[in-house]
Amino acid sequence: METPVIELRDISLTAQNKNIIGNAQVSIMQGQTVAFVGPSGSGKSTLLKLAGGLIVPTSGEIYYLGNPISTMNRSQNLEFRLRSSFVFQDSALWANQSLRQILELPLKIHFPQMTEKQRTARIVEVCVEAGYKRELDIRPSQLSTGEQKLIAFARAMVCDPEVLFLDEWTESLDESASRRLVKIVKKRQKEGNTIVFVSHNFSVIEELSQRICMIIDGRLSMEISTKDITQNKALAQMVEKGISL
Ligand SMILES: Nc1ncnc2c1ncn2[C@@H]1O[C@H](COP(=O)(O)OP(=O)(O)OP(=O)(O)O)[C@@H](O)[C@H]1O
Ligand SMILES: [Mg+2]
């Protein structure tokens, strides 16, 4: 049987005496695109961070290609970080670094043999692809929220990942910028990348995802296929509004 790229087994997370995620169970296979949808505060971002190994669960285990993330050694962890990348809902760009430094860092860590010229060429390539056209020697505070999103997206692409975790990555963007990023993700989808994303944008969900996981109050309340929502208007409205049956 094929090993899932990412698997969450019985994941629960408690913080400050609050159950944030309860018994989440998801297996994501190579090349699949899965959307996490649900109301605000339901736990989508938290679940995505858990799946990406960025938060340690209170109980349960997350597996990357069958290996528990919690027992990975440094080199396995570095390999996982290289193969996967994350776009944070709030972009999470370093305030005290220039955009160039922010984009350079993953390349410096994962490809120390790269020359400065090669790094710059790669950075320019991902920025152009993402549609960021301004200078790089400025700080995130000098960007609009949408431009920060473009840099966060470019940073996630810079090491050419195979697994993408995207949290509301088209939020704050105008229609054409949003279309551009969706097109990039679609291309990556065709290349066999595995994509897990959070979105409130129904057309993005419909266009990209094969599986839709509805999260309500920190629990995976149901899973539906995109085919279901195209054939069932009531279900489509539930996904759009983030409500369950
Ligand atoms: N470290 C933490 N400590 C305490 N509560 C937390 C922590 N992290 C998240 N929460 C809470 O868990 C809940 C889920 O948060 P999360 O950010 O995952 O929601 P979300 O579904 O992504 O919402 P949105 O659609 O608004 O982005 C929220 O009530 C949030 O306040
Ligand atoms: Mg969120």
pLDDT in tens, 19-43: 999 999 999 999 999 999 999 999 9
Sign (positive or negative) of CA dihedral 61, 62, 63, 67: negative
Distance, CA 100 to ligand 1 centroid (Å)?
30
What percent of the chain shows pLDDT beyond 90?
85
Q: Residue 223's pLDDT is what?
A: 86
Q: How far apart are the first and last CA of the chain?
A: 33
Q: Residue 231's pLDDT is what?
A: 76
> Per residue in 68-98, pLDDT tens?
999 999 999 999 999 999 999 999 999 999 9
Element (H, E) at 213: strand 211-216
Strand partners for 86: 165
Q: Is 201 in the pocket of ligand 1 (CB under 6 A)?
A: no
pLDDT at 179 over 90: yes
Q: Is 40 in the pocket of ligand 1 (CB under 6 A)?
A: yes
Report which protein residue has its CA nearest ligand 1's atom 24. Answer: 40
pLDDT at 243 over 60: no
Extended beta strands in 45-200, E state: 59-64, 67-68, 84-87, 163-167, 194-198
Distance, CA 101 to ligand 1 centroid (Å)?
29
- Is-contact 163 84, C-beta < 8 A? yes
Helix (H, G, I), strand (E, B) or coil at 9: strand
For residue 20, the ligand 1 atom closest to its alpha carbon is 12
Extended beta strands in 44-162, E state: 59-64, 67-68, 84-87
Sign (positive or negative) of CA dihedral 216, 220, 224, 230: positive
How far apart (Å, rounded) are the C-alpha atoms in residues 185 and 198?
Answer: 13
- Which of 12, 16, 17, 20 should be mutated for ligand 1, with most atoms under 8 A from CB? 20
For residue 215, the ligand 1 atom closest to its alpha carbon is 21
Helix (H, G, I), strand (E, B) or coil at 12: strand
How far apart (Å, rounded) are the C-alpha atoms in residues 228 and 233?
Answer: 9
**pTM check: above 0.75:** yes
C-beta atoms surrounding 125 within 10 Å: 13
For residue 36, the ligand 1 atom closest to its alpha carbon is 21
Q: What is the DSSP letter of 4?
A: P
Is the domain spanning 6-241 CATH 3.40.50.150? The answer is: no
The most distant pair of C-alpha atoms in the chain lies apart, rounded to whole Å, by 55
Phi, psi values for residue 163, rounded to 5°? -125, 125
Report which protein residue has its CA nearest ligand 1's atom 11. Answer: 20
**91-120 burial code (b ≥16 CB/10 A, e <16):** bebeeeebbbebbbebbeebeeeeeeeebb
